[in-house]
Protein backbone atom coordinates (compact mmCIF):
# COMPACT_ATOMS: atom_id res chain seq x y z
CA UNK A 1 0.00 0.00 0.00
CA UNK A 2 1.43 3.37 -0.93
CA UNK A 3 2.03 6.01 1.70
CA UNK A 4 -0.71 8.10 0.17
CA UNK A 5 -3.38 5.39 0.12
CA UNK A 6 -2.33 4.30 3.60
CA UNK A 7 -2.74 7.85 4.78
CA UNK A 8 -6.20 8.22 3.24
CA UNK A 9 -7.21 4.85 4.68
CA UNK A 10 -6.10 5.99 8.11
CA UNK A 11 -7.87 9.28 7.61
CA UNK A 12 -11.13 7.47 6.96
CA UNK A 13 -10.64 5.84 10.34
CA UNK A 14 -10.18 9.23 11.92
CA UNK A 15 -6.48 8.71 12.39
CA UNK A 16 -3.93 11.13 11.07
CA UNK A 17 -0.26 10.38 11.43
CA UNK A 18 2.15 13.22 11.19
CA UNK A 19 4.92 12.68 8.72
CA UNK A 20 8.37 11.87 10.00
CA UNK A 21 11.27 13.95 8.84
CA UNK A 22 13.90 16.31 10.01
CA UNK A 23 11.46 18.10 12.28
CA UNK A 24 11.57 18.18 16.04
CA UNK A 25 8.79 15.65 16.47
CA UNK A 26 8.37 12.32 14.81
CA UNK A 27 5.10 10.45 14.75
CA UNK A 28 4.90 6.77 14.03
CA UNK A 29 8.56 6.22 14.85
CA UNK A 30 9.44 2.62 15.82
CA UNK A 31 9.42 3.56 19.47
CA UNK A 32 6.03 5.22 19.16
CA UNK A 33 4.39 2.27 17.36
CA UNK A 34 1.72 0.67 19.45
CA UNK A 35 1.85 3.29 22.14
CA UNK A 36 -0.84 5.88 22.56
CA UNK A 37 0.96 7.44 25.50
CA UNK A 38 -0.73 10.21 27.38
CA UNK A 39 -3.88 11.43 25.65
CA UNK A 40 -4.30 15.19 25.50
CA UNK A 41 -7.77 16.32 24.53
CA UNK A 42 -7.96 19.60 22.63
CA UNK A 43 -11.19 21.37 21.82
CA UNK A 44 -11.41 23.72 18.84
CA UNK A 45 -14.07 26.39 18.98
CA UNK A 46 -14.30 29.89 17.47
CA UNK A 47 -11.75 31.35 18.13
CA UNK A 48 -9.72 29.32 20.56
CA UNK A 49 -8.06 26.00 21.16
CA UNK A 50 -8.57 24.68 24.70
CA UNK A 51 -6.04 24.14 26.06
CA UNK A 52 -4.00 26.50 23.92
CA UNK A 53 -0.77 25.58 25.67
CA UNK A 54 0.35 21.96 25.67
CA UNK A 55 3.38 20.84 27.67
CA UNK A 56 5.06 17.54 26.99
CA UNK A 57 8.41 16.03 27.87
CA UNK A 58 11.16 15.30 25.44
CA UNK A 59 10.91 11.63 24.47
CA UNK A 60 7.32 11.31 25.63
CA UNK A 61 4.79 9.74 23.27
CA UNK A 62 1.47 11.57 23.41
CA UNK A 63 -1.74 11.39 21.44
CA UNK A 64 -3.53 14.61 20.66
CA UNK A 65 -7.28 14.02 20.50
CA UNK A 66 -8.65 16.99 18.56
CA UNK A 67 -12.33 17.85 18.44
CA UNK A 68 -14.08 20.75 16.74
CA UNK A 69 -17.39 21.66 18.35
CA UNK A 70 -18.88 24.47 16.29
CA UNK A 71 -17.33 24.67 12.83
CA UNK A 72 -14.80 22.83 10.64
CA UNK A 73 -11.50 24.13 11.96
CA UNK A 74 -8.00 23.13 10.94
CA UNK A 75 -5.10 22.11 13.17
CA UNK A 76 -1.72 23.02 11.80
CA UNK A 77 1.65 22.65 13.53
CA UNK A 78 3.76 23.78 10.60
CA UNK A 79 7.22 23.37 12.15
CA UNK A 80 6.45 19.70 12.63
CA UNK A 81 4.56 19.07 9.39
CA UNK A 82 1.41 18.15 11.28
CA UNK A 83 -2.01 19.17 10.05
CA UNK A 84 -5.52 17.81 10.29
CA UNK A 85 -9.03 18.82 9.30
CA UNK A 86 -11.28 19.00 12.34
CA UNK A 87 -14.86 18.15 11.46
CA UNK A 88 -17.50 18.77 14.12
CA UNK A 89 -18.61 15.50 15.65
CA UNK A 90 -15.36 13.67 14.93
CA UNK A 91 -12.28 13.13 17.04
CA UNK A 92 -9.02 13.22 15.11
CA UNK A 93 -6.04 11.68 16.85
CA UNK A 94 -2.45 12.61 16.12
CA UNK A 95 0.33 10.68 17.83
CA UNK A 96 3.55 12.55 18.33
CA UNK A 97 6.87 11.98 20.03
CA UNK A 98 9.15 14.77 21.05
CA UNK A 99 12.79 14.31 20.17
CA UNK A 100 13.88 17.90 20.66
CA UNK A 101 12.89 20.59 23.15
CA UNK A 102 11.40 23.86 22.02
CA UNK A 103 8.27 25.92 21.55
CA UNK A 104 6.17 25.20 18.48
CA UNK A 105 3.17 27.26 17.39
CA UNK A 106 -0.03 25.66 16.17
CA UNK A 107 -2.96 27.40 14.57
CA UNK A 108 -6.32 27.03 12.89
CA UNK A 109 -5.79 27.08 9.13
CA UNK A 110 -9.41 26.89 8.03
CA UNK A 111 -10.92 30.36 7.99
CA UNK A 112 -13.59 30.32 10.67
CA UNK A 113 -14.64 33.95 11.09
CA UNK A 114 -13.73 37.35 12.40
CA UNK A 115 -11.04 36.33 14.91
CA UNK A 116 -9.70 33.34 13.00
CA UNK A 117 -6.20 34.84 12.94
CA UNK A 118 -6.08 34.73 16.75
CA UNK A 119 -6.90 31.03 16.93
CA UNK A 120 -3.54 29.60 17.86
CA UNK A 121 -1.53 27.94 20.60
CA UNK A 122 1.87 26.61 21.61
CA UNK A 123 3.31 23.15 22.05
CA UNK A 124 6.07 23.31 24.64
CA UNK A 125 8.58 20.46 24.73
CA UNK A 126 10.70 20.42 27.89
CA UNK A 127 13.83 18.39 28.40
CU1 LIG B 1 -10.83 28.08 13.41
103 C-alpha vs ligand 1 centroid, how far in Å? 21
Domain span at residue 40 reads 3-126
Contact yes or no for 65/40 (Cβ under 8 A)? yes
Rounded to two decimals, what is the model's pTM?
0.73
Render pLDDT for 57-83 as a digit per residue (tens, 0 to 9). 998 999 999 999 999 999 999 988 899
Contact yes or no for 69/44 (Cβ under 8 A)? yes
In the chain, the number of structural domains is 1
Distance (Å, rounded) from C-alpha 23 to C-alpha 73?
24
112 C-alpha vs ligand 1 centroid, how far in Å? 4
Which has the higher per-residue pLDDT, 7 or 85? 85
Which CATH number characterizes residue 67's domain? 2.60.40.420
pLDDT for 80 equals: 82
Amino acid sequence: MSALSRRSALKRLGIVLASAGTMALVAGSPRAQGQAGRIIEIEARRFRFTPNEIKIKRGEVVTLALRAVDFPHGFNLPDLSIRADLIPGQVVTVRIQAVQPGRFAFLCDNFCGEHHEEMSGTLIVDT
